[in-house]
Chains A and B, each alone.
Chain A
Amino acid sequence: MTSPDITGPTGRLDPQAGTFLEGLWASLPIVLGYVPIAFAFGVAARGIGLTLAEAVALSLILYSGGAQFVALALIGSGAPFLVSAFTLIAMGLRHLLYGPTLMRRAGPGASRRHAWAWAWGLTDEVFGTALGALARGRRFSEPFMFGLGLGAYLAWASGTAMGAYAGSGALAAWPAVETGLGFMLPALFLALLLSVLSRAQLPVIGIAAVATIAVTLAWSGTAGLLAGMIAGAVAGVLNRRGDGGAP
């Protein structure tokens, strides 16, 4: 499938550039991973007294899984508004690293005309999937990013709505399905890791993993995420054998 606005350097259609539908297809593992997690969020939101509309509004407007679960804990415990806001904003700081990394990998000719729209969907999973696609030779395109982001966004919103509507125990009769869906995100990240793996980046990944485990166990999951990413990236600066010149 090709799209008229996907052109290569010569102005002709570029078969390596992803289309909107290819982006949607690439979002499938994210969709399958997001729905059960968003479902759990919807259930938990109703559990602390939020209405269906409030639960869905958090997913549509805030759109950050980890922060949303923390938001429930803060709202449920009656935390002051400013404390809640600053805590949740701090949780999103890791996203600052994603845009520059993705656009550098995309190359100097990559369009960002509509980045104001598709960047809204640049979650951890969408970033990882986009980066994996580029590492496998896919040329960056905004339609691909729209497809990828929209599939994930709709899955998150609809999963929240279903969970908030169904209430607790909806998957209790299907424990194997619930368990399998619970492994979707680790499976996705492992597959993405394999897709970007190179010998030069092994120390980076190893140090990121160790830092994540250590800080998560010693402090918190959010701090572990930030520590792992920064420690791995700093290891990449110190590792002169790394492929830092790659676009």
Chain B
Amino acid sequence: MRLEILSLAVIVGACNWAFRYFPTRANLHELPPGSPVTRFLAATGPAAIGTLFVASALPLVKDLSGPAPLTLGAGVGAVLLVYAISRSVVIATLAGAIAYGGAFWLFATSS
């Protein structure tokens, strides 16, 4: 194990832990409802999840040639449909991945 790799991992890992842990100690429950900070924090969750979805899907839509529209449509459609029926994030996620891989397999075997 090279010392430089280990040092880099330890320094960055320690900062990651600090970024994740110390903000949980902030006492924010006495903030008045409707204040700018309250609205900022309330919006951060949906904004973060929306951002992460777009960032993770962006590479998939950059190249919409070949089977990409079919597989993407099948995956997204399956997540929407299964979530509407089951209200389960776990089941909807698995259904989306299965539909995405299945559509890719169908396209590959039929072409």
Interface size class of B (residues with CB under 8 A): 35 or more
Contact B44 A101 (CB under 8 A): yes
B82 CB → nearest A CB, Å: 8
- Dominant SS among interface residues on chain B: helix
Contact A237 B40 (CB under 8 A): yes
Identify the interface centre among B4, B17, B51, B100: most chain A CB within 10 Å of its CB: B51
Identify the interface centre among B60, B90, B95, B105: most chain A CB within 10 Å of its CB: B90
- Dominant SS among interface residues on chain A: helix
Contact A176 B101 (CB under 8 A): yes
Q: A236-B43, A244-B39, A244-B43 are in contact. Are A180 and B102 (CB under 8 A)?
A: yes
Residues of B with C-beta under 8 A to A204: 43, 46-47, 50
Q: Please name the residue on chain B nearest to A135 by beta carbon.
A: B45
Q: How far is the CA of A88 from the CA of B9 in the complex (A)?
A: 10
Q: Please name the residue on chain B nearest to A129 by beta carbon.
A: B89
Q: Please name the residue on chain B nearest to A51 by beta carbon.
A: B1
Q: Please name the residue on chain B nearest to A64 by beta carbon.
A: B16
B21, B35, B101: the one contacting A119 at CB < 8 Å is: B21
**Does A43 make an interface contact (CB < 8 A)?**
no
Residues of A with C-beta under 8 A to B39: 236-237, 239-240, 242, 244
List residues of A whose CB falls within 8 A of some B CB: 25-26, 28-29, 32-33, 50-51, 53-54, 57-58, 61-64, 67, 71, 75, 81, 84-85, 88-89, 92-105, 107-108, 112, 115-116, 119-120, 122, 124-125, 127-129, 131-132, 135-136, 175-177, 179-198, 201, 204-209, 211-213, 216, 221, 224-225, 228-237, 239-240, 242-247
